[in-house]
Amino acid sequence: MKRSILTDSYEDIAKNLKLDKPFQAKIIYHALISGITEFDRITSLPKALRERLTDEYDSLLASKVINTAESDYAVKLALLLQDGSIIECVRLSDGKGRYTACLSSQVGCAMGCAFCNTGTMGFIRNLESYEIAEQFLQLSLLGEEISHIVFMGMGEALQNFTAAMDAIKALHREDGFNISYRRMTISTSGYVPGIRRLTEISVPLRLAVSLVSADDKIRSDIMRINRTYPLSELKSALLSFQHHQDKRITFEYCMLSGVNMDRESAEKLRSFMKGLDAIVNLIPWNPVEGLGFNAPSESEIHRFTDMLGSLGIKYTIRRSKGQNIAGACGQLATKTRRSIRQ
């Protein structure tokens, strides 16, 4: 089975490709990150070596783009992996020249959050580190320089901690894509053991927590993780994270009409945030057929943001990009997978 060399050291590359001279590994790695995906185009390698490598490996990439969908601010790729699994990743644009890669960390997701399309797939498997890193490369091959990364695609990244961290380190590599840790955000549904591990390592990543509700009953109903790690445990892990890493935390708050947008919800949110340096990122729910929720109306959003403002809660509103290509938050996954399998 072929694997991408993106997360390999030069020694590993030289060994895997059975290179005659170790420095050729460096040439191949640099060719790959500059967008050359075929050995034959690496003209600084001897012809005989290029031919041998082309015979043994058809491409430098381990994944294949099988579907591309575009909207004004987002491009979503469906990638076919070596074992036949399909994952999705998205390149988001802010319209001002800043591009962000939204990467997946698992095939499917075990968390089963009730408002999320990926959750309906169930957990299929963890991605290998190179499968995570290669999503970034595939999105870069679309042609724009990507400066930011968010782990908000399919899966709970902190449950695939080692592979996610290896991919993060590879994407940070100075002689590679060189993405600063501060420009990478890892998102979690509130997987406390993962937050604690992240606290222990000194990698200054940004942390986003998909909070959705600061009420244990509501949160446990719509996010199963809360039954294992309730809000009190989550908060204690976040306090410790902030104590060690001194980084502002983002709370992703998916607004669900009639569920988490009343006065009581706002007040509970304020008391949960007490003692934390955090900002709330409000995201109107992206409709997914059959999940049984409703997106909030503009007037509901206004009412809720007024309440947050009056309670002194810092917030921003994120209008999800890529909604019409099912590439927005909570929408990734099943469409392409089903259509491929039919």
Please calculate the CA angle 259-263-265 and round it to the nearest 5 degrees. Answer: 50
305-334: contacts with ligand SF4 (CB under 6 A) = 330
Active-site residue flag, 88: yes
- Does position 160 interact with ligand SF4 (CB under 6 A)? The reply is no
* Span from 92-100, 112-120, 230-238, 290-298 in contact with ligand SF4 (CB under 6 A): 112-120
Tokens of 186: 């890892």
Q: Which of 31, 111, 124, 132 binds ligand SF4 (CB under 6 A)?
A: 111
- Does position 118 interact with ligand SF4 (CB under 6 A)? The reply is yes
Angle between helices 161-172 and 129-140 (to 10 degrees): 40
Helix locations, 141-179, DSSP H:
161-172
Gap between the Cα atoms of 161 and 145, Å rounded: 26
Gap between the Cα atoms of 94 and 321, Å rounded: 9
Task: Give the 3-state secondary structure of residue 120.
Answer: helix
53-72: contacts with ligand SF4 (CB under 6 A) = none
CB of 156 to ligand SF4, least distance (A): 4
- Does position 42 interact with ligand SF4 (CB under 6 A)? The reply is no
308 within 8 A of 280, measured Cβ to Cβ: yes
Q: Which of 32, 116, 137, 149 binds ligand SF4 (CB under 6 A)?
A: 116
Gap between the Cα atoms of 151 and 153, Å rounded: 6
DSSP state of 128: P
Q: Which is nearer to ligand SF4, 109 or 150 (CB)?
A: 109
Q: Which is nearer to ligand SF4, 228 or 271 (CB)?
A: 228
Number of residues that bind ligand SF4 (CB under 6 A): 13
Q: What is the Cα 271 distance to its own chain's centre?
A: 28
301 within 8 A of 266, measured Cβ to Cβ: no
Q: Nearest to residue 247, comparing CAs of 256, 238, 255?
A: 238
- Does position 156 interact with ligand SF4 (CB under 6 A)? The reply is yes
* Span from 38-46, 72-80, 90-98, 111-119 in contact with ligand SF4 (CB under 6 A): 111-119
* Span from 18-26, 109-117, 128-136, 227-235 in contact with ligand SF4 (CB under 6 A): 109-117
Active-site residue flag, 329: yes
Q: Nearest to residue 88, comparing CAs of 66, 115, 113, 110?
A: 66
Gap between the Cα atoms of 8 and 16, Å rounded: 9
- Does position 158 interact with ligand SF4 (CB under 6 A)? The reply is no
CB of 324 to ligand SF4, least distance (A): 20
CB of 13 to ligand SF4, least distance (A): 32
Exactly one of 102, 113, 254, 329 is catalytic; name it.
329
CB of 166 to ligand SF4, least distance (A): 20
Gap between the Cα atoms of 76 and 325, Å rounded: 7
Q: Which of 126, 135, 210, 226 binds ligand SF4 (CB under 6 A)?
A: 210
Which amino acid is it at 112? G
List residues near ligand SF4 by CB under 6 A: 109, 111-113, 116, 118-119, 154-156, 189, 210, 330
Residues annotated as part of the active site: 88, 329
